[in-house]
Amino acid sequence: MAETFTDPAPLRVAFFSDSLPERNGTGAYYHDLLAHLGSRVEAAEIFQPLDMKRPPLLSWPMPGDPSQRLVTPNLPRIARAYRQLRPNIVVSITPGPFGLLGLYHAKRSKAAFISAFHTDFEQLARIYWSPLTRRFVNFYLNNANRFLCKRSATVLVNNSHLQKDVEALGAPEVEIMGTPIQPMFLEKPLSPYPKTIQKICFAGRLAPEKNFDRIIDAAAQLPEIEFLIGGDGPLRKELEASAADLKNVTFYGWLDREKLIDLIDQAALLLLPSKIETFGSVALEAMARGRPALVSSNAGIHDWPQLQEGLFAYDQKRPLIDALREILALPKEHIRQKADAARAAAESLNHQTIQQWIDVLRKYAKR
């Protein structure tokens, strides 16, 4: 059931983000958070790019996601909406034009200002861009992040490994935050856990950092298992071509959250063998649906002890097929216990995260 709260806190919160609402993990994070904050604050709004078919002329591709761009904000529109909101705390989520605009409005209106650091864009730049372009991008990102961190009352991260990075950028305080879950993942009745593992799913961007070639290789060696692939991205055509002869691999394309739930509910296990994964929100969503997840051991989701019972850690030094065969060989009762633990752990972390956000906002908001 959905959580209900009384006595809303006197908080008026403005979030500024260069990400679209549900295009990537950062965009989904705040879309889901706002769904929970509504009953706990006086007002909350996120200022971010509109999902336009044609991006403005003055825009740049984001590292790791050429389909999404850094765009110049519509200054008059945002100024009007900001005045109407009258926030007493501003949260800048990204180091792009929108994030920097959040700092400007906070200082101008004398609202409290905090920032978040969700993505190591420098790692993504190493994967996607040439050395010359990477040098320019990293110079901008480093300076923009440093500018925001030094002016923040605190900096929020959802991966403990990022704490040293933001401290080096000048953050005076650091808060390690949990990750919220979109309410529908918890509210929709659960589908019974399958008696055996016959279907395995992946959901996310089809991009180099996701180690997707290992999933295709595993599918080729496990013809008795169906691999359900949800998502879109720069590698989609290449991956579809590489799996063209595999009858046990199905690509579903980009999925909205309801269809994502349907995909997860069909499967018995979610895969996330990424090279880079700041947290791994889709694994938490799978756990909320009572499905365990096999996630790279470097992902931030492993930092939360209460989630361990619903996760399998994947060591990228090993072939993915070896890890999957070990899971397939486990007793059925063991897997079912893992699935039950996954659901309970996801609910617990979600409740803890929403309360943590309220506590942090109350702590720093100006009265």
Outline where DSSP puts E strands in the chain: 9-16, 41-47, 59-62, 65-71, 89-92, 112-116, 155-157, 174-176, 199-203, 226-230, 249-253, 269-272, 293-296, 311-314
The 8-class DSSP code of residue 251 comes to E
359 has a pLDDT exceeding 70: yes
Q: What percent of the chain has pLDDT over 90?
A: 72
Cβ partners under 8 Å of residue 363, min gap 6: none
Please, what are the domains in the chain? Answer: 9-177 (3.40.50.2000), 183-347 (3.40.50.2000)
Q: Residues 69-89: what's their mean pLDDT?
A: 91
At 208, the pLDDT band (50, 70, 90 cuts) reads: confident
Separation in Å, CA 293 to CA 155, 190, 242, 327, 341? 29, 16, 24, 11, 12
Cα-Cα-Cα-Cα torsion 359, 363, 364, 367, nearest 10 degrees, comes to 110
Q: Are 257 and 231 in contact (CB under 8 A)?
A: no
Chain-centre distance for alpha carbon 187: 20
Read off the DSSP letter of residue 11: E
Tell me phi and psi for residue 117, to 5 degrees: -130, 100
Give the separation between CA 319 and CA 229, rounded to whole angstroms.
Answer: 19
Average pLDDT over residues 221-246: 94
pLDDT at 13: 97
- Among 2-11, 223-232, 339-348, where is mean pLDDT lowest? 2-11
> Is this prediction's pTM over 0.85?
yes
Residue 5 has pLDDT above 50, yes or no: no
pLDDT for res 205: 87
The answer to whether 82 and 47 have CB atoms below 8 angstroms apart is yes
User: Which residues is 200 bridged to in the sheet?
Assistant: 227, 269
Ranked by mean pLDDT, the top range of 29-33, 45-49, 109-113, 211-215 is 109-113
Res. 124 pLDDT band, cuts 50 70 90: low
Q: Quick one: pLDDT band at residue 317, thresholds 50, 70, 90?
A: very high
Residue 133 pLDDT = 65
